[in-house]
Amino acid sequence: MRSVLSPLSLSLALAVLLLPFTMGVKQEDFKQCSQTSFCRRLRSIANRQEEASAGSFNSPYSLSAPEALEVGAWNWNLKSTLYPQINFQLRVDILEEGDGIVRVRVDEVDSTTPFQRYNETARWALLNTNPPLSSTASIKTASGKSIISYGPTASKLTLEVQHSPLKITQLRNGNPEIVFNDRALFHMEHFRVKDVEKTEEILSDSEQMILNGNKMDRSWFEESDIDAFEETWKKWTDSKPKGPEGFSLDLSFPGVNHIYGLPEHASPLSLPDTLGPHAHYSEPYRLYNVDIFEYLADSPMSLYGAIPLLHAHSSEHSVGVLNLVASDTWVDVRHDADAVRTHWVSESGILDVLLLPGPKPKQLFEQYSILTGPTPLPPQWSTAYHQCRWNYNDEEDVLDVQRKFDEADIPLDVTWLDIEYADEHRYFDWNHKFFPDPVKMIDEVASKGRKMVAIVDPHIKRTDSFRIYSDAKDLDVLIKKSDGSNFEGWCWTGSSVWVDFFNENSWSWWTKMFNLNTWKESTNALFIWNDMNEPSVFDGPEISMPRDNIHAGGWEHRDLHNINGMMFHNQTAQALIAREVPAKRPFVLSRAFFAGSHRYGAIWTGDNMGDWEHLAGETAMLLSNNIAGMVFSGADVGGFFGNPTPELLVRWYQAGAFMPFFRAHAHIDTKRREPYLFDEPIRGYLRDIIRLRYQLLPVWYNAFHDSSLTGVPIMTPQYAAFPEDEQGFAIDDQYYIGDSGLLTKPVTQEGAETTQVYISDAQPYYDYFTHRLHPASAHQTLTLNTPISTFPLLIQGGSILPIRQRVRRSSPLMWQDPFTLIVALSKEGTASGKLYLDDGVSYGYLQGEYISKSINFDGKSLSSTSTKIVTLSKETGLETYDPENNTWAQAISHVKIESVIILGLKNSPKSVKFDDQEVEWTFEYGVASNGKKEGESSELKIKNPGVGVVGDWKIAFA
């Protein structure tokens, strides 16, 4: 569900909404850099640097000698020759965890104004606002430089802080990997009070603006700006009570050709240039959460989420930067022969940058997870198939969907309700005309092992008869206008207000709203969808909230805009956790997100189009989300807008079944397209791919569990899987599922009968469906047959997949079903895998209520061994964990391995035994894993070997 653009009334909103889908995004409703005062000013510094003669453009900033604050932390006084009377302070921290994470902060100090820069981004994004510091880092200062040594001895990490002009370089083994202020583009605008008694001399748009009568010529560095203290765009005026407070920084990455990150954008994974002779875009990448209508499939325009994280990668090393800024931010990218250079400009906030040392992608994922936390293990059912549209009409419609999925033998776990379930769009209040008995409806859905999700958006209908509004008004927890009155805007409810979730007084009240004694027409089988939380305001600037609105603590909305959606997401998740004792894992879907949002639930890529171009672009978007920690993400399967052809819909489902969040969704004006509505063979194709998702749910749950421990992606891009293979660094249309060895590539071309897949490593790969073996050969491109009935899904040699071949109508009903192990041999004739299981809904796994198995084939035996869970910081449940006698293990002690399929054996074994007893097996000759021929692989099939998922066991081959 989504908004429309700039309506004057709700009726106009709906009228605009119902225009033909071909209207597309109205780019004029969103600012470009040239229309944004701070971006014009700060981006122009780079133009001056480019135009200056070599060696003539030096940073006006310099440092004094360092002052030790505590072990692992130092301060420098920072001055600018542009404004020598203004005081800044640079602080460097070396963190204890993460093998050498460096934190660099700059803030204005001792200001003569009453103003303060926003300094709370870390409070919301990081697990610990001030992480513990290293006790081993040391500093030496000489010849105008401070050299800090830190990190593991073998890493040989140093941070070189050049005092004048300011420059900071992170080096490994003496080689620079990250350079701050390499191009002298760092600038922090200082606070000043606009003095109406003095005439401000404004010469022209391109000349210097002289503030407070100061006649110093700064035009070589700064650009004048008549909008510095007040800015008007279209019909809106931003009052800017603190005046200009932007900052810019440049970060260069020597020796790399690829940078990744900055989600969310509909752009390639390896970010192309926004400047220079090879510019792919004419605008910088923008990080500013907005409600955007039918976004372009290839654009640097801002979308619904913003994570200011970059990875820079070469075959020799990987590094990362996390820029903790929540205000409107634009990032330019330029690839030079010796480095990739970036220029960041932000509207407000302090400079708070964390340098992640890597040295490989795996360590970058772990380091980011140390800072922001990993994605908690979600409810198992939420990893299955979700069915949604705007809107299911009434209770009978909802129950009819359940019946027809069952009749078509298509599994389903979650049915969703969009905004029309709510009376006058007053979320929490059911429209009893169409949903007369919500609890009965939810209970009937739950009787099939399924769940429901209902939307709860942040806009609250402004009417005293609505308890949510009256409560929030009485508690005084609403977002304010700049004059201190409650902000009112227009959204689906009509005239609306918004709760300020930065106000701690709102938290316990919001939790109470979801209590089953308060929201009596809900049950513990109802979960929540937080949409429109960018925030979306139909009659606001850029379909959002005025920047001079006021939040708790006196902070302006401009300061924390990109965190707003995360606060709403967080409090809703906490409310669901609190509604049951003992607590169950929540599921809350959000559209807006920021660094750290992954701790609270899933996101999706918003209001996409049901066309081939958007299908092709979704993989890169989701890979970008995954490397930035937002692993539980997906796209609207089928496209939100439009009516895809049957072929396109099948391809959407094939792609969606391999997204971590697998949900079909559609606009209210689209034709109904539930998979059971189609005739054969289309219905069969859709049924088969959904059923395949259910068969592979153990593989997905393994991947979610791994991510919950170390922050590794669930969708693993080629560069992260094979960080030394340069041929794979720009590939963003195929990926691996965690470390399972499953490699997939969506088919995104109409009529495609073949699809090419790139293979980095010298291992055999097996077609999942046919078991055809492609012999080991590094850096090869496979051409696979992909008629509409199939798509590329390969098993990497050396992998063991645990699957469940029996599919029931919902995944919770499969918990006692047996497993099949698919063993795909490496060229060395070995394989390994894992199986993690818990009850899927509670937090008992944190107290050791789980089973975790390491499964290995060494050529002579196939064995399963219990393992203990190790996180980045501690081992979980070590003292209490009993691999066979914990409550969950006992509950599934009867669950068996019903079959084992071993692919790629060279010869048939003479015997296969468990516990010295021969088991039932057959062998079919075919291509071996260590050969050079392509063809059907050999298959050893073991039936009912007599082993289970809980105890340790070994099957011997002779």
Count of CB atoms situated within 10 Å of the CB of 806: 13
* Separation between Cα atoms, residue 837 and residue 283, nearest integer Å: 47
Residue tagged active-site, from 366, 534, 539, 542: 534
Tell me whether residue 264 is one of the annotated catalytic residues. Answer: no
Cα separations in angstroms, 473 against 466, 510, 547, 691, 921: 11, 13, 21, 48, 71
Nearest to 297 by CA among 711, 754, 722, 606: 606
With vertex at residue 561, the alpha carbon angle to CA 556 and CA 564, rounded to the nearest 5 degrees, is 110
**Distance, CA of 628 to CA of 623 (rounded, Å):** 9
What is the secondary structure of 796-826 as a DSSP string? ETTEEEEE-----SSGGGGTT--EEEEEE--
Pairing of strands 451-455, 526-530: parallel
Measured on CA atoms in the order 234, 236, 242, 247, is the torsion positive or negative? negative
Q: Is 394 considered catalytic here?
A: no
Helices 646-656 and 682-695 meet at what angle, rounded to 10?
0
Amino acid identity of residue 321, one-letter, is V
The DSSP annotation for 15-41 comes to HHHTS-GGG---GGGS--GGGSHHHHH
Of residues 227, 332, 420, 531, which has the active-site annotation?
531
Would you tell me how many other CB atoms lie within 10 Å of the CB of residue 876? 17
DSSP one-letter code for 541? G
Coil, strand, or helix at residue 338? coil
Count Cβ atoms below 10 Å from residue 447 Cβ, excluding itself: 10
Which own/partner pairs from 19-28 qualify as long-range (CB within 8 Å, at least 24 positions apart)?
21/294, 21/609, 21/641, 21/642, 21/667, 21/669, 23/293, 23/294, 24/293, 24/294, 24/296, 25/292, 25/293, 25/294, 25/295, 25/296, 25/301, 26/293, 27/301
Exposed, middle or buried: residue 196 (CB in 10 Å: 0-12, 13-18, 19+)?
exposed
Q: Rounded distance, CA 807 to CA 49, Å? A: 62
User: Which of these, 504, 671, 520, lies nearest to 571 by C-alpha position?
Assistant: 504
Q: Report whether 170 contacts 137 (CB < 8 A).
A: no
Burial of 289 (0-12, 13-18, 19+ CB in 10 A): buried
Which among 178, 381, 183 is positioned nearest to 811, based on CA atoms?
A: 381
Angle, CA 137 vertex, CA 136 and CA 143 arms, to 5°: 145
How many helices and strands, by DSSP H and E, does the chain display?
A: 16, 57
Question: Rounded distance, CA 638 to CA 666, Å?
Answer: 7
Beta strands in 587-741 (DSSP E): 588-590, 593-594, 602-604, 633-634, 636-637, 662-664, 715-716, 735-737
Q: Among this protein's residues, is 882 annotated catalytic?
A: no
- Residue 627 neighbours by CB under 8 Å, 6+ apart: 260, 261, 311, 361, 365, 713, 717, 720
Please tell me the distance from the alpha carbon of residue 154 to that of residue 224, in angstroms, as a whole number.
49
What does R_g of the chain's alpha carbons equal in angstroms? Answer: 29
Tokens describing residue 58: 């030096």
**Amino acid code (one letter) for 887:** T
| Residues 365 and 711 sit within 8 Å (Cβ to Cβ) | yes
Please name the amino acid found at residue 622: L
Catalytic residue among 227, 607, 674, 898: 607
**Enzyme catalytic residues:** 531, 534, 607
